[in-house]
A and B are shown apart, each in its own frame.
Chain A
Amino acid sequence: MDSFVNSLYLERKTIACIKQQLISPKSIQLYHFLQQPIFRFLHSSLQKCSWHHEHAAHIHSFSTPSTIPLPIKTLLTVLDSDEWAMWLLLATGKEVKLKKQRLQLFGTGDYTLQHDIQERGIHCMIALTSIWGTNWGGYTSLVKEGKEIVRINPIPNSLTLFEQKKGMASFVKYINHRAGNKKHIVIHALYA
């Protein structure tokens, strides 16, 4: 884990601040989360991927990799490690296990909807995107009773944590034509 993650986020003081943020406003986004050379390496490994488009028009539209590149697989292993579970315990105050994780690619015309399968727990998203415009869509929205309570923008090399509780739903906002051929690639892990 310490060969991937920016050492700043491994300091106890920092983790304590993260925990405080997660109480209110219920989410936190950590910038430059991965060490920069690691992030660049992971990002370039994705360029050689072939992607399979999953489209159920009434639920979602995004792509998943036909084969996960080895560097990404290594990161996924870190997110399933005891070390990471300990970090999450310190950061969230919750003892959780990995339920599922997936690598997703969103491009122009892609989205997920609120009535896609909604899963409660701690959501952990690592944005492997290299560049993203704020008016392109693609952000993750957490809603409760029809109102947005958290919005997570795709910031390159960020880690976002939020807890989805009962009565909450989340979705990835439709990506509009301004994104052109840019892609938002994210590792999305769920812990409960």
Chain B
Amino acid sequence: MWLNTLSGSHTLLQWRTQYVSNTPISHIFLPHFLVQKRYASLKTALLNESFYPKSSDLFDLSQTSDLRTAKQPLLRDFQRFLSSSEMHELISAVTDIKTRGQVDAFGSLYTDTDYLLPHDDRLESRKVAFVFYLSTLTRSDGGELAFFETDRKHNPTKEIKLYRPKENALLLFTVSKRSWHCVREIRKPVKRYAIGGWFHG
């Protein structure tokens, strides 16, 4: 079993309410997402996976291959769990968006000076984006995910909400014209590990 025990429909209703009412886009930050033992094993597996540096105008970071082809079996298991009907039902219950099929999932690693500039994630059939954190960072470390306010043309204007990475927390948000976000530059010699990707519809 991966997930921490939910308290039933009442919790899901709370989550759904938070998700739709959060601004500037629908999103939710769920701490203590996985059962602690499973989380610890997953982190060990991720730290033993190979990461490949990637650089462009938009980013500097390192990434694993798609977790479907990960060397570590537990990472492949985690990708299968994300793609399971259990997870799709949870996503649907929280976001009111029907998702299905295989989930794209990659490990990411940001270290000193790494960053990801503003973008909206829109591509093909992506419906809900997720980031599962396997590091806890402090304010001075940087590495926060920042959501942007948008103007009438759906262009990003200013950062309006920040989420600092926290171990074993899951961030979900709806992919849309307004889902502009970035990862702020890491400013210390720390490591920010996460597994991120998209649920498709």
Contact = CB atoms under 8 A, between A and B. Distances in A.
B185 interface: yes
Contact of A174 (B117, B155, B187): B117
A171 B180 contact: no
A56 B155 contact: yes
A57 B157 CA distance: 7
B187 A113 contact: no
A174 B115 contact: yes
B113 A178 contact: yes
Contact of B115 (A57, A114, A171, A176): A176
B148 interface: yes
A135 B112 CA distance: 11
Interface residues of B, number: 18
Nearest to B114: A176
B165 interface: no
Interface string A50-64: 000000111000000
B113 A113 contact: no
B119 interface: yes
A171 B57 contact: yes
Interface in A78-122: 109, 111-114
A142 to B, nearest CB: 11
Contacts of B58: 113
Interface string B114-128: 010111000000000
A114 B180 contact: no
Interface in A144-173: 171, 173
19 contacts: A56-B155, A57-B118, A57-B155, A57-B182, A58-B118, A58-B180, A109-B185, A111-B57, A112-B57, A113-B57, A113-B58, A114-B57, A141-B57, A171-B57, A174-B60, A174-B115, A174-B117, A176-B185, A177-B187
Given A57-B118, A113-B57, A141-B57, 11 more contacts: A57-B156, A57-B157, A57-B158, A58-B155, A112-B57, A113-B117, A135-B113, A137-B113, A171-B57, A177-B113, A178-B113
Interface of B: 57-58, 60, 113, 115, 117-119, 142, 148, 155-158, 180, 182, 185, 187
